[in-house]
Amino acid sequence: MKNIFNYISNLLFPQKLKCIVCKNELCNSNNMYLCKNCFNNVFYIKNPCPTCGDEMLNGNTYCLNCKNRAVTYFKFNRSVFVYNNVAKNLITRAKFRGEKYLVAFLFDELYKLYINLNLSIDLITYVPSKTNKDRFYNIPELLAKKLSDKTAIPLIKTLECIKTDEQKNKDFTSRQINVKNAFKFINCDVKYKNILLIDDIYTTGATINECSKLLKTHGAQTIYALTLAHTLKK
Ligand SMILES: [Zn+2]
Ligand SMILES: [Zn+2]
């Protein structure tokens, strides 16, 4: 009986009980649902590379990854956090369990970043899911939908994933090869449009660049990318 009560109470008030990352009890309630320790480990990007949005450390003024990219089809990417352990935990839990309060928190952070960028956007789209749709919540699609609802900018599914290989555990070069022909353009009107492309994690930029290339090929004017987290380069 006690277990059932705990189960129901957890369903109703998950945020009031435990830190969503480490499960330690929250001493005082805040709308972050993170304990003090995990909250201190959320690393917001403050000094982004003008192109890829990676946090520029040690006063660096250019980013090797952007310098080495042959063609950049997107104008820029901006990410909310550095992809560290806390960010990974938040995004993975949202992806596997789709917890509403967690998706809401991630969206709020993405929305704040979007507002700060002050962009002029004609349509919102997202990087399509690379994995089996039945098993995971498609976070980029969920975030894009929420952003469209909040801003009244139309959401259009412009791309389809035609490959299922995960990018995970692949190095920079194999990622570039892997994303080639991984996506297909869905026939829709993107001509002269300024497009906001949403994804969850920016790793090498190969996926964002490939999607942007397809959109550009079909006449899009400018592609801006917005992602939750960015892996930190050394
Ligand atoms: Zn914690
Ligand atoms: Zn860069």
Residue 163 has pLDDT above 90, yes or no: no
Ligand nearest to the CA of 225: 2
Counting residues of the chain whose pLDDT is more than 70, the rounded percentage is 82
Q: What is the pLDDT of residues 172-192, one digit of tens each?
A: 666 666 777 789 999 899 999
Give me the pLDDT at residue 175, please.
Answer: 64
Distance CA 69, CA 232 (A): 17
* CATH 3.40.50.2020 residue spans of the chain: 43-230
Q: Is 39 left (phi over 0), alpha (psi -120 to 50) or beta?
A: alpha
Ligand 2 centroid–CA 25 distance in Å is 38
Residue 114 has pLDDT above 50, yes or no: yes
Ligand 1 centroid–CA 43 distance in Å is 14
pTM of the predicted structure, to 2 decimals: 0.85
Ligand 1 centroid–CA 193 distance in Å is 42
Residue 31 has pLDDT above 60, yes or no: no
Through-space distance between the first and last CA atoms of the chain, rounded to whole angstroms: 52
Sign of CA dihedral 156, 138, 169, 234: positive
Ligand 1 centroid–CA 20 distance in Å is 7
Q: Averaged over 218-222, what is the pLDDT? A: 98
Residue 4 has pLDDT above 90, yes or no: no
Number of C-beta neighbours around residue 1 at 10 A: 5
- Average pLDDT, rounded, for the chain: 86
Ligand nearest to the CA of 86: 1
Give me the pLDDT at residue 167, please.
Answer: 56
Closest CA to 48 of 186, 192, 227: 227
Q: Averaged over 148-172, what is the pLDDT? A: 82
CATH placement of domain 43-230: 3.40.50.2020
What are the structure tokens assigned to 110, written together?
């993405």
CB contact at 8 A, 117 and 192: no
Q: Which residues surround ligand 1, an ion (CB under 5 A)?
A: 19, 21-22, 35, 38
Ligand 2 centroid–CA 12 distance in Å is 42
CB contact at 8 A, 137 and 93: no
The full DSSP string for 97-131 is H--HHHHHHHHHHHHHHHHHHT---SEEEEPPPSS
Give me the pLDDT at residue 15, please.
Answer: 47
Q: Please, which pLDDT band fits residue 199 given cuts at 50, 70 and 90?
A: very high
Ligand nearest to the CA of 33: 1
CB contact at 8 A, 199 and 127: yes
Element (H, E) at 206: helix 206-217
Chain position carrying tokens 């990676």: 54
Q: Please, which pLDDT band fits residue 36 given cuts at 50, 70 and 90?
A: confident
Cα→Cα distances 22→85, 90, 146, 163, Å = 11, 10, 27, 34
